[in-house]
Amino acid sequence: MSPIDEEQIQGLKGLRDFLKKRTSYDVLPLSFRLIVLDNDLLIKKSLNILIQNGIVSAPLWDSQNSRFAGLLTSTDYINVIQYYCQFPNELDNVEKFRLSNLREIEKAIGVHTIETVSVHPSRPLFEACSRMLKSRARRIPLVDIDDETGRETVVSVITQYRILKFIAVNTEQHTSLLKKTIQEIRLGTYKNLATCKMTDSVLDVINLMVVHNISAVPVIDKNNTVLNVFEAVDVIPCIKGGAYDELKSTVGEALTKRPEDFQGIYTCTEGDRLESIFQTIRQSRVHRLVVVDDDHKLRGMLSLSDILKYVLFHGEEGDYFPPS
Ligand code: ADP
């Protein structure tokens, strides 16, 4: 085994030990706000609340039964759009749907129901990551039981992004050992890439995301040069106020509706080391990296789940996931 291989294994071991010693509580900032939406809220109103508060997801609360009712994410809005496309005469009803109707919508179009997986905040972070990867969720609610009432309480929600940031900020001694390039460790997706053009309709891109089960589609020109990335969250401003007709507009138009504080897109090359990817995560708000060549032509996509999966499980055998 080469010294680089040895260092890589040592780095991964350090990261795994770290994730087993820390809990989800450790990832939470000292003070934070949590916006929880009542399950009885109109879907249309929920959109405005997300937009006004600059957030893209929220836990749902079933106030009749005092229970956590799942996590609302951009995927749910995409499902509502799919429903509207399959049943265009139902627009009046779509307007009246409440968040508690999301399950019916999801059943009607035959997709997975709203994410209900959760984890206790004092369980090891490694477990929270495993559960997220297993359920393909990008975020997981932290649900505790109130000592006095015995009822569930939603403490917060942690995302793959927060966890990778936490790793990047706190474990430089381990991440600096990850000297292999992403090409050497075959990190990311390079075949059957879903792509779109600026002139494609938003609806077409939404369909691509649903069919491939992905959260972002690179926007390229006719020479395969990367111009931008259309993300699942970019759908939210498009349907603000129930304006489903705007989905027929182009990707180019939709991208102009991004919030002012949009952080931009991040790229890397196949020759980049994982160490430097962690440096980018440490310094910026990265939700995925587009892999490009020296001429900025598309080569692949590197998602946060690809990185997290590698950190947790590369080289491990057997069943990775603890029983729920
Ligand atoms: P995440 O789960 O981190 O949000 P994605 O849903 O975008 O990321 O990615 C899920 C998987 O699909 C990853 O393995 C990623 O490499 C791959 N992937 C991401 N974007 C695309 C794309 N446009 N075309 C094909 N595969 C993709």
Q: Kindly provide the ipTM of the predicted complex, given to two decimals.
A: 0.96
CATH of the domain at 231: 3.10.580.10
* Contact present, 305 and 138 (Cβ < 8 Å): yes
Tokens 């102009």 appear where?
256
- Asked if residue 219 belongs to a domain, the reply is yes
Does the C-beta of 250 come closer than 6 Å to ligand 1?
Answer: no
| pLDDT tens digits, one per residue of 280-315 | 999 999 999 999 999 999 999 999 999 999 999 998
Does the C-beta of 135 come closer than 6 Å to ligand 1?
Answer: no
Residue 28: partners with Cβ closer than 8 Å, 6 or more residues away: 121, 142, 155, 156, 158
Ligand 1, atom 11: closest residue by C-alpha: 214
Please list the helix, strand and coil fractions of the chain in percent, rounded to the nearest 5, in that order. 45, 20, 35
* Contact present, 254 and 267 (Cβ < 8 Å): no
Q: Select from 121, 136, 169 the last residue of a domain.
A: 169
Q: Cα separations (Å) of 108 from 57, 80, 244?
A: 22, 10, 19
| pLDDT tens digits, one per residue of 109-167 | 888 766 678 999 999 999 999 999 988 888 999 999 888 888 888 999 999 999 999 99
Tell me the CA–centroid distance for residue 215 and ligand 1, in Å. 6
Other Cβ atoms closer than 10 A to 208:
16
Does the C-beta of 299 come closer than 6 Å to ligand 1?
Answer: no
| Intervals of the chain under pLDDT 50 | 319-320, 322-324
Q: Select from 120, 136, 169 the last residue of a domain.
A: 169
Does the C-beta of 164 come closer than 6 Å to ligand 1?
Answer: no
Does the C-beta of 303 come closer than 6 Å to ligand 1?
Answer: yes
Closest ligand 1 atom to residue 188 Cα is 16
21 shares its domain with 149? yes
45 shares its domain with 139? yes
The residue range of the domain holding 119 is 14-169
26 shares its domain with 132? yes
- Asked if residue 121 belongs to a domain, the reply is yes
Does the C-beta of 289 come closer than 6 Å to ligand 1?
Answer: no
Closest ligand 1 atom to residue 213 Cα is 6
129 shares its domain with 207? no
CA atoms within 13 A on the CB side of 288: 23
Rg, C-alpha atoms of the chain: 20
pLDDT score of 38: 97
Number of domains in the chain: 2
pLDDT score of 319: 45
Does the C-beta of 208 come closer than 6 Å to ligand 1?
Answer: no
